Each structure stands twice: as structure tokens, then as C-alpha cells.
Structure 1
Amino acid sequence: MGEGVAKNGAYKYEDGTKYIGDWNGRGMKHGGGSLVLPDGTRYDGGFQNGLCSGLGVIIFPDGAKYEGEFMQGWFHGHGVFWRADGMKFEGEFRGGRIWGLGLVTYADGSHGFPRNEGFFQDCRLVRRRRCPEIVHKAQKVSMMARAQCS
């Protein structure tokens, strides 16, 4: 069978995971859907061959949330991640990690001093520089993911 959406439906796995959405002809999550894990983590968005892919929103049990691009199951591309304590990162992600240009905003609305904006590598700021175009793109992608999934 082809790679496209073959059917739509719901399935509850033995571990308690629930999925409602599109499936491909090989029985893999493929297209749009909603996945709820036993711990309460919820993902709404795109799937490709069983993995989160494209635009999506994931909300963790502690209240942390990511809205943005996914690839092969990872945060990958542009997006916004909010920690449960209110701190957020707007920018680029690779392989599930903060990696690339972006901006940190603390719960009080400040960005730190000196400003935590620039190039991050494996979640650490390694080179400071202004990057408003990347922050704006991350905000836009986040908004598109939220709109698609609501």
C-alpha cells in the first residue's frame, strides 16, 4: 500500500497509551492524530510512519509544553518550549534539544543579564547575538502548530 492515510480510527495499547487519528496501510500512525501516554503526556499533531512529524503540540504532566516542528519523533526545527516554572525558549531545536539560535525568557519576563539570546548548543548558550528573525519565526510556527491542533 502507499504511504498516504489509509484509515482513521482509535486504538488503546496494552500499556494504556491511546491514539485517535489517521493510520497508513501498514497500521502505523500517519497523518493527523492525538496520542495520550499513560503518564498523561499528550501530543496533538502530525505523524509520519508512527512518529511525531510536522507541526505539533506536546504537553507534559508537569505542565511543560512545546509547540512547533517535529521530525522522527523529536522536537526539530522551530518552536517554543515552556518549562513548568514559566521559563521559555523560542528558537531552534535539533534532535529533541535546544540547538541553534534562540532567546530565553524567564518567568518574570526578563531575558537575564547579559541577555540570554544567541546560539545554543545542547541547551547551553555558547555565543551571544541578537536573532529577532529566528525568535519571530519560532513564535509563528508555534502559533501555526497551536491553530492546527485546536
Structure 2
Amino acid sequence: MVEAVDPGVVKSGAYKYEDGTRYIGEWNTKGQKHGMGHLLLPDGTRYDGCLAGGMCSGLGVMAFPDGAKYEGEFMQGWFHGHGVFWRADGMKFEGEFRGGRVWGLGLVTYSDGSNGFPKNEGFFQDCRMVRRKRCPEVVQRAQKIAYMARAQCQHV
């Protein structure tokens, strides 16, 4: 079996930036992070996943120093698409994200496993629920995308 290689990827390697950021992964012809990689920022934030043109793009996992974590889709460096975000206190949101914010359909689950009463499921804009609506398909898709992001990162 021949593995498909991203045509933009020309080499693999590691680099430590002046600000303390470290990157291990694939690069393109322009010297940008591109393909699969591991990025560790000076504040302890870690990203594992796909990058394109130097930015987190595609499936990935981002873990923050306070214990918060996001698993899902990224676009141009932002949480964007479907995913799951866990706050450090154990609360999580499973659903849609736009431009780094909770935005779209999804479900909030509190650290005790409850979803609130009435259930915090519906349409969110800028992290606030604006309309209650059942959306089990969106929640399932977010869970599946998060699983795929986790699985992909374990094979890098």
C-alpha cells in the first residue's frame, strides 16, 4: 500500500523559535508548518494535528495549560467546524464552532453529567444559547470528529 503524501509537504523536521515555541512536523516549500505536526507554545498550550500554510487547519487536538481541551476541526488557526471543547472545570460543549467561538448547534454538559433544566441544547451565537432545539445529529457528528482528531494524533 502506498501512502498518499500531501503535495505541499517537502520535508519533516523540528524547529525552536526565538519566543520559545517548538514545532516538530512537516513543512512546505515556503518553510511553513504544513501537514501533520506537534506545536508547543511558550505558555504550555499544545497542538497536535494538521497544519496548512503555517496555521492549524483540518483535524487537531489543542490542550491548554489550565486543563481545557478542544478536539475537532480547525480552519486558519481557529476552532471552526464540529468539535468538542472541555473547560478546565469539566463542563463541555459538543457541537459547532465558528472563528474560535461556540457558534451553531450543540449541547452543553456540566461537570456533574447533567445538561441543565431545561436542557442546554440548541443554537448558540458567540457562546450564548439563543434558541432551544434538539440536535442529536450535530452532537453525534461533533463526537465523531473529536474521536477522529484524537485517533489521527495518536498515529503521528
Query: How many pairs were matched up?
Result: 149
Q: Which of the numbers 137, 143, 147 marks the counterpart of 1:139? A: 143
Residue 140 (structure 1) shift: 0.2
What corresponds to 1:117 in structure 2? 121
Q: Give the secondary structure class of the aligned counterpart of 1:138.
A: helix
What corresponds to 2:32 in structure 1? 28
What corresponds to 2:75 in structure 1? 71
Residue 3 (structure 1) shift: 6.1
Please list every run of at least 4 consecutive aligned residues from structure 1 whose deviation after the TM superposition is greater than 2 angstroms.
Answer: none
Gaps of 5+ in 1: none
- After TM superposition, the score normalised by the length of structure 2 is 0.94
Residue 122 (structure 1) shift: 0.4
Q: Give the secondary structure class of the aligned counterpart of 1:144.
A: helix
Let me know the Cα RMSD of the aligned residues: 1.0
Residue 107 in 1 paired to residue 108 in 2?
no
Q: Give the secondary structure class of the aligned counterpart of 1:148.
A: helix
Q: Give the secondary structure class of the aligned counterpart of 1:26.
A: coil
Gaps of 5+ in 2: 1-5
Distance 1:28 1:3, change over 3 A: farther
- After TM superposition, the score normalised by the length of structure 1 is 0.98
Structure 1 letter corresponding to 2:13: G
What corresponds to 1:40 in structure 2? 44
Q: Is the contact between residue 56 and residue 69 of structure 1 (CA under 8 Å) also seen in structure 2? A: yes
Q: Give the secondary structure class of the aligned counterpart of 1:38.
A: coil
What corresponds to 1:57 in structure 2? 61
